[in-house]
């Protein structure tokens, strides 16, 4: 299922999208009716352009029409507003003054950070965020290391038992965590790690997803480079770290982003292990939600802080975050 | 009550045991190999003559990941099967009592189990709308929007996918709040009195579905858009020249070529449904009111960690595992038959 997707946009289609000109008919692509198409066409393309065929152009399936572009903008605007409004409302409420928390005005004014101050005074939210950050970082590092080494074994060697081993990794998708959580819980309990962050980390040092994702990339790795490394007298371990890993940085950083975000956002396992501790933010926020009930300003401030690292990651690495999640699905 | 920062730091000292042990062993094996094979043969390692230590190299590379996988996934799976025939309250001090298949009989006759199975079907079907149907519609209708605008919209649409589940629960509880919540305020403008949605046995499940659907939609739109962008435009052009209409192109060309993407999204729906419904149910409804929002995943948790009935939870888990596996195999068989690849 090697279905490589390039989400980037060919340059000439970007030009077409910007100018909104050159409508062409090679078979309509969206279900807009002719009236709508001509109406939007006059707005977008300055009317009058004779419709002609451009057989060599980079068109999507079907063809490009300015009516379709207008419709597309409408559809995407609606979807984007629906997606973003709850997020906006969260921060709008968080930045109101505590006495304005029931206000329905679309913009929080006057702005206030009092809710955030209240939260940090009521619960040690900064310590929780730090704990969660360290936990997510540790999980990312260990899952990355174990994934690199294991996928390398699959990609580079043939050995008896290989198919059994790879079946174990693929097959773990068929074991939802809820099925194994009681034995896992008992094991963590026997290790004396209940209510500790270590109890959250230790059972999750391996990501079967990470192994399978990296295996896709390792398989595509040019064997000439490995041959060259071998001729240079490097053994497989040296070749892994001096040849393979440096050349897989994009895949590895994409995987790191995904592992970090899913570690940060994980809820079920921490909520089981930390039943008497609020060390991690997901569990701590739940207690705060229950305790604070309808103190919406403070609750929204706490929820906003729980999302902060992931949002910062998204703001600074937006393209990479999206590409990581979307492309992983295409392999 | 709160552990200090020392918690994770302590774990740092314990955690490395899994990786470096295997890693350093692998390193040792690698060194030996290079000394023995001595650059006489080029090519991949498996082609060269090897000592026992070299032959064990792949196993040493696999050791960290595989041992953890067996220890925390497959061994527990076997234990779940074992626990399912015992009656036990999960206290190490209390004895386990062998009860044969009684747990299974109890599970299938429990009314809340039947309700949970039905709700799981409802959840999954509804999520398929948010993660498959709507994304396909949105992606098809907007495929002519490209370039910076496309990137801009997609960046916004993707945000909910990254949202921390507890924050999702918090913000939607606020949006649905009977006093001052944005949704009831808007609904009252339209003359609808919503009341407390999460206490309403008819509405609560739809509120949860809306929240998870909100999180899933952006991922679906981006994946389907990428899938459509990966389809060569020539097929559509050729069909257009042959006089095929818009719907025909979509039905006969776009959707078949998109089928691997849709199969992937379908699997993600099922997997994410398990992961994402749990925190929302746990924070907002605890499966209620009167079991109207519970599903299999949440029921397994309740049997085990609220009723402390390890046997019942394990029996339900075994049944769930078998059903899940059967559905997955069936699903993959069907998609193998109906998927269409462009290569």
pLDDT digits (tens, 9 = 90+) for A166-194: 999 998 888 888 899 999 999 999 999 99
pLDDT, residue B247, reads 83
**pLDDT at position B49, please?**
57
- Closest-CA residue of chain B to A101: B180
A93-103 confidence digits (pLDDT tens)? 999 988 887 77
Q: Which of residues 41-100 of A touch B (CB under 8 A)?
A: 55, 58-65, 68-69, 71-73, 75-77, 79-80, 82-84, 86-87, 89-90, 93
Residue A154: is it exposed, middle or buried by C-beta count within 10 angstroms (0-12/13-18/19+)?
Answer: buried
Cβ atoms within 10 A of the Cβ of A288, count? 24
Q: What is the pLDDT of residue B343?
A: 56
Q: In this structure, what are the phi and psi dihedrals at residue B97, rounded to the nearest 5 degrees?
A: -115, 125
Which residues in A lie closer than 8 A to residue B145 (C-beta atoms)?
17, 69, 72-73, 76
pLDDT tens, position by position, B97-127: 899 899 999 999 999 899 999 999 999 999 9
Domain boundaries, chain B: 6-83, 106-338
How many other CB atoms sit within 10 Å of the CB of residue A182? 26
**What pLDDT shows up at residue B129?**
94
Q: What is the model's pLDDT at position A277? A: 81
The answer to whether residue A61 scores a pLDDT higher than 50 is: no
Task: Tell me the two tokens of residue B259.
Answer: 């089928």
Structure pTM?
0.80
| A209 backbone dihedrals φ, ψ, rounded to 5° | -60, -45
A48-57, B49-58, B307-316: which range is least confident on average?
Answer: A48-57
Contact A176 B249 (CB under 8 A): no
Better-predicted residue by pLDDT, B201 or A1: B201
> Could you give the CA distance from residue B234 to residue B56 in angstroms, rounded to a whole number?
50
Q: Which of A25-34, A315-324, B237-246 has the lowest mean pLDDT?
A: A25-34
Q: Do B156 and A73 form a contact (C-beta atoms < 8 A)?
A: no
Average pLDDT over residues A84-113: 87
Among A31-40, A102-111, A296-305, name the one with the lowest average pLDDT: A31-40
Residue B143 with chain A: CB contacts under 8 Å = 29-30, 60-62, 68, 72
- Which two structure tokens, joined as six digits, stand for A130? 């730090």
Q: Quick check: A58 pLDDT over 50?
A: no
Task: Output b/e per residue, A54-91; b: 16+ Cβ within 10 A.
Answer: eeebbbbbbbbbbbbbbbbbebbeebbeebbebbebbb
Domain at B106-338, CATH from 1.10.10.10, 1.10.3720.10, 3.40.720.10, 1.10.760.10: 1.10.3720.10
Distances (CA, A) of A127 to A130, A287, A306, A327: 5, 15, 12, 34
Q: What is the pLDDT of residues B151-181, one digit of tens each?
A: 899 999 999 999 999 999 999 999 999 888 8
Per-residue pLDDT, averaged over B301-310, amounts to 92
Q: Residue B43 above 60 pLDDT?
A: no
How far B5 CA lies from chain A's nearest CA (Å)? Answer: 6
- Mean pLDDT (chain B) is 82
B297, two tokens: 């995943």
Two tokens, residue A287? 């207690």
Domains in chain A, ordered, with CATH?
Answer: 70-112 (no CATH), 121-328 (1.10.3720.10)
Q: Which pLDDT value is given to residue B259?
A: 85
Query: CA nearest A63: which of A33, A95, A23, A98?
Result: A23
Decide if pLDDT at B206 tops 90. yes
pLDDT bin (cut points 50, 70, 90) of residue A226 is confident
- A223 has a pLDDT exceeding 70: yes
In the prediction, which pLDDT does B194 show?
A: 83
Write down the pLDDT at residue B50: 61
Calpha distance A127→A279 (Å, rounded)? 8
- Quickly tell me which residue has 């596996």 as its tokens: B325
The helix/strand/coil state of B209 is helix
| Chain B residues touching residue A321 (CB < 8 angstroms) | 158, 162
Cα A143 to Cα A210: distance, rounded to the nearest angstrom? 7
Closest-CA residue to B63 (of A43, A206, A6, A236): A206
A191-195, B28-32, B57-61: range with lowest mean pLDDT: B28-32
Q: Which of B5, B69, B264 sits opposite A127 (nearest CB)?
A: B5
Give the Cα separation of A243 and A229 in Å (integer): 7
> What is A137-161 written as a DSSP string?
HHHHHHHHHHHHHHHHHHHH---TT
- In terms of phi and psi (left: phi > 0; alpha: psi -120 to 50; beta: otherwise), the region of A161 is left
pLDDT band at A308 (very low <50, low <70, confident <90, very high): very high
For residues B52-56, give the mean pLDDT: 76
Report the range of poorest mean pLDDT among A6-15, B63-72, B242-251.
Answer: A6-15
Amino acid A69: pLDDT: 86
- pLDDT given at position A46: 37
Residue B105: the pLDDT is: 93
């Amino acid at each position: 299922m090697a279905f490589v997707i390039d989400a980037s946009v060919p340059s000439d289609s970007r030009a077409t999208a910007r100018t909104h000109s050159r409508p062409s008919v090679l078979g309509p692509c969206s279900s807009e009716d002719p009236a709508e198409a001509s109406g939007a066409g006059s707005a977008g393309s300055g009317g009058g352009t004779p419709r002609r065929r451009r057989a060599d152009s980079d068109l999507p399936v079907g063809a490009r029409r300015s009516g379709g572009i207008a419709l597309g903008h409408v559809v995407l605007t609606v979807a984007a507003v629906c997606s973003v409004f709850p997020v906006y409302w969260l921060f709008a409420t968080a930045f109101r003054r505590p006495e304005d928390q029931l206000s329905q005005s679309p913009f929080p004014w006057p702005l206030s950070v009092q809710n955030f101050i209240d939260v940090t005074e009521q619960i040690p939210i900064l310590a929780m965020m730090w704990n969660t950050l360290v936990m997510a970082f540790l999980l990312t590092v260990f899952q990355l290391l174990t994934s690199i080494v294991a996928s390398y074994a699959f990609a580079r060697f043939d050995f008896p038992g290989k198919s059994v081993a790879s079946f174990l990794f693929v097959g773990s998708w068929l074991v939802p965590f809820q099925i194994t959580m009681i034995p896992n819980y008992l094991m963590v309990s026997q290790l004396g790690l209940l209510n500790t962050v270590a109890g959250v980390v230790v059972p999750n040092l391996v990501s079967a997803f990470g192994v399978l994702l990296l295996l896709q990339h390792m398989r595509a790795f040019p064997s000439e480079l490995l041959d060259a490394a071998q001729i240079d007298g490097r053994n497989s371990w040296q070749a892994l770290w001096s040849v393979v890993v440096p050349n897989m940085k994009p895949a590895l950083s994409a995987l790191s982003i995904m592992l970090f975000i899913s570690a940060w956002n994980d809820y079920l396992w921490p909520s089981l292990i930390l039943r008497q501790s609020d060390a991690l933010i997901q569990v701590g926020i739940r207690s705060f939600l229950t305790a604070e009930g309808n103190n919406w300003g403070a609750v929204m401030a706490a929820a906003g802080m729980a999302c902060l690292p992931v949002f910062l990651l998204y703001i600074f690495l937006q393209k990479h975050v999206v590409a990581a999640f979307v492309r992983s699905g295409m392999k | 009550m709160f552990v200090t920062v020392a918690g994770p730091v302590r774990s740092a000292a314990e955690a490395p045991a899994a990786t470096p042990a295997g890693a350093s062993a692998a390193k040792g094996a690698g060194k030996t190999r290079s000394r023995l094979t001595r650059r006489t043969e080029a090519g991949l390692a498996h082609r060269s003559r090897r000592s026992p230590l070299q032959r064990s190299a792949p196993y040493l590379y696999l050791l960290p990941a595989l041992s953890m996988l067996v220890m925390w996934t497959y061994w527990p799976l076997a234990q779940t099967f074992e626990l399912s025939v015992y009656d036990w309250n999960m206290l190490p001090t209390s004895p386990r009592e062998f009860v044969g298949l009684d747990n299974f009989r109890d599970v299938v006759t429990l009314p809340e189990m039947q309700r949970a199975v039905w709700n799981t079907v409802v959840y999954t079907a509804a999520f398929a709308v948010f993660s498959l149907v709507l994304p396909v519609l949105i992606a098809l209708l907007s495929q002519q929007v490209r370039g910076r605008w496309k990137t801009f919209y997609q960046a916004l649409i993707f945000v909910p996918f990254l949202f921390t589940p507890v924050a999702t629960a918090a913000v939607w509880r606020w949006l649905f709040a009977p006093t001052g919540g944005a949704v009831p305020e808007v609904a009252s403008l339209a003359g609808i009195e919503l009341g407390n949605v999460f206490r309403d046995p008819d509405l609560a499940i739809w509120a949860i579905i809306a929240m998870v659907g909100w999180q899933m939609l952006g991922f679906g739109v981006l994946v389907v858009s990428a899938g459509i962008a990966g389809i060569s435009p020539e097929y559509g052009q050729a069909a257009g020249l042959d006089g095929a209409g818009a719907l025909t192109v979509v039905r006969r060309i776009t959707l078949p070529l998109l089928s691997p993407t849709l199969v992937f999204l379908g699997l993600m729906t099922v997997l994410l449904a398990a992961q994402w419904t749990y925190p929302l149910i746990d924070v907002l409804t605890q499966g209620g009111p009167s079991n109207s929002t519970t599903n299999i995943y949440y029921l397994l948790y309740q049997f085990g960690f609220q009723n402390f009935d390890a046997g019942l939870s394990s029996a339900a888990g075994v049944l769930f595992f078998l059903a899940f596996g059967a559905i997955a195999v069936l699903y993959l068989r069907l998609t193998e038959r109906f998927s269409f690849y462009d290569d």
